[in-house]
Structure 1
Amino acid sequence: MANEKILMLQMAVTDMAKAKAFYAEQLGFKVTKDYGKGDRHWVSLELPGGGPSLTLSTMHVNMKPGTMNLYLSTSDIEAAHEQLKAKGVEVNDVQDNLYGPGSGVKWFDLNDPDGNRWLMVQS
């Protein structure tokens, strides 16, 4: 098959040091590559559970910082919420209506330093 899986997502950032610290130190991503400097800087990160890598880039081409919505899953939404708060991440309250009123799917959201929105969803 030609398309088997998503390998990488690329995200535009304005301040690489701040973005790299947020993803590595606060969200727990592992830095796997760090290339370049200034307006030609890329940092690739992976989640502990695997999956596609996230590459932060100061070379924006046709991307704009702060325009992405991304979803992460967790088996324990309350623990994830408390853990991120303890690391200094500004998180919104846990809700139970991701797919609309009465859906019962628990989630909360947070923004990275550029304003990209992450939704943490209990799976």
Structure 2
Amino acid sequence: MQDSPQSSRSLFERIHFQSIDATDVERARDFYVEKLGFRVERDAPYGDSRWIFVEIPDAETLLHFNDVDEIAPQDTPALVLVTGNVDVACDELERRGVPIHMGPDDAPWEPGIRWAMIHDSEGNLVLIQTVKS
């Protein structure tokens, strides 16, 4: 059976949103906006909580805060963000009061990658990396 011209293309265009756990969705919203530079795309009442989406300016994928009672400690990142220069980003994050959990350092898993990790306001592990072409 031959592939049709459309079968070599993905069926999907992009990721609309990714959920990340938050025990306090408003605190998470404020952290991502004030500390990481996201902007609020949507914030509306949703039952006893809020329906909040934030976005990186000029990006297409939204981040949604999933209201949970608790967040278990993590060994792997809940979110991976790309920046043009991880060292500069870490300096700015520290200036904004965000402690750097690990790094910045060269990635042993892939040449050309520099990385660092932070925890967000909810305790989620966030990987920040620079990907060199």
Question: TM-score range, shorter-chain basis?
Answer: 0.7 to 0.9
Long gaps (5+) in structure 2: 1-9
State the 1:98 CA deviation: 4.7
8 Å Cα contact 1:43/1:55 also seen in 2: yes
DSSP 3-state at the match of 1:93 = strand
CA RMSD for the aligned pairs?
2.3
Tell me the residue number matched to 1:81: 90
Task: Provide the C-alpha distance between the structure 2 equivalents of 1:98 and 1:27, rounded to a whole number of angstroms.
Answer: 26
**Is 1:55 the equivalent of 2:64?**
yes
DSSP 3-state at the match of 2:87 = helix
CA shift in 2, pair 1:50/1:93, >3 Å: same
Task: Provide the C-alpha distance between the structure 2 equivalents of 1:122 and 1:35, rounded to a whole number of angstroms.
Answer: 34
DSSP 3-state at the match of 2:116 = strand
Instruction: Please list, as runs of the form range in 1=range in 2, the aligned pairs for 1:97-108 lying within 5 A after superposition.
Output: 97-99=107-109, 103-108=111-116
Tell me the residue number matched to 1:26: 35
Long gaps (5+) in structure 1: none
DSSP 3-state at the match of 2:32 = helix
Q: How many residues in Structure 1 have an aligned counterpart in Structure 2?
A: 118
State the 1:104 CA deviation: 4.5
CA shift in 2, pair 1:98/1:65, >3 Å: farther
Radius of gyration: which is bigger?
Answer: 2
8 Å Cα contact 2:23/2:70 also seen in 1: no
Tell me the residue number matched to 2:5: none
CA shift in 2, pair 1:111/1:98, >3 Å: farther
State the 1:64 CA deviation: 6.3
Higher mean C-alpha displacement, 6-15 vs 66-75 = 66-75
TM-score, with structure 2 as normaliser: 0.76
The structure richer in strand per residue is: 2
CA shift in 2, pair 1:77/1:40, >3 Å: same
Structure 1 runs (4+) deviating above 4 angstroms are none
State the 1:79 CA deviation: 0.9
8 Å Cα contact 1:98/1:106 also seen in 2: no
Tell me the residue number matched to 1:93: 103
CA shift in 2, pair 1:94/1:21, >3 Å: same
DSSP 3-state at the match of 2:63 = strand
